[in-house]
């Protein structure tokens, strides 16, 4: 089936937000070929007349009554934060520097 180049794996790692080492990219491009060949077997029986199933239960949207219930205090919600400031999560900058 399709083979993945090292550049393809590097692009997938970028999309998945993982800064992989050169060694990891090398190893993964080899492993992915083996795994993809094995999993591509699904195509043998997945013909157009078969309906896909995404979930074992017939799901419908579940909503609750719009009433206020107890929730975490700000302190509890922030208790695992790598950094916080003034009852907020402190995060690294998300926009580039404006010129």
Alpha carbon distance, N-terminus to C-terminus of the chain: 47
CA 79 to the chain's CA centroid: 24
Task: Please state the closest distance from residue 81 (CB atom) to another protein, in A.
Answer: 6
Let me know: does 24 contact 43? Beta carbons within 8 Å: no
Q: What DSSP line would sit under 9-58, residue for residue? A: HHHHHHHTT----HHHHHHHHHHHHHHHHHHGGGGGT--TTSPP-S-SS-
Contact string 28-57 vs another protein (x = CB under 8 A):
x--xx-xxx-xxxxxxxxxx--xxxxxxxx
Indicate which single residue of 3, 5, 26, 89 sits in contact with another protein (rule: CB under 8 A): 89
Q: Is 68 among the residues that bind another protein (CB under 8 A)?
A: no
Q: Is 87 among the residues that bind another protein (CB under 8 A)?
A: no
- Chain contacts with another protein (rule: CB under 8 A): 2, 4, 9, 12-13, 15-21, 24, 28, 31-32, 34-36, 38-47, 50-57, 59, 61-62, 64, 72, 76-77, 79-83, 89, 91-94, 96
């Amino acid at each position: 089936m399709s083979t993945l180049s090292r550049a393809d794996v590097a692009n997938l790692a970028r999309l998945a937000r993982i800064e992989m080492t050169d060694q990891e990219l090398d190893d993964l491009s080899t492993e992915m070929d083996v795994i993809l060949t094995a999993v591509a077997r699904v195509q043998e029986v997945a013909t157009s007349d078969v309906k896909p199933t995404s979930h074992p239960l017939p799901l419908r949207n579940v909503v609750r009554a719009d009433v206020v219930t107890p929730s975490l205090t700000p302190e509890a919600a922030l208790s695992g934060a790598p950094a916080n400031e003034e009852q907020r999560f402190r995060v690294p900058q998300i926009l580039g520097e404006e010129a």
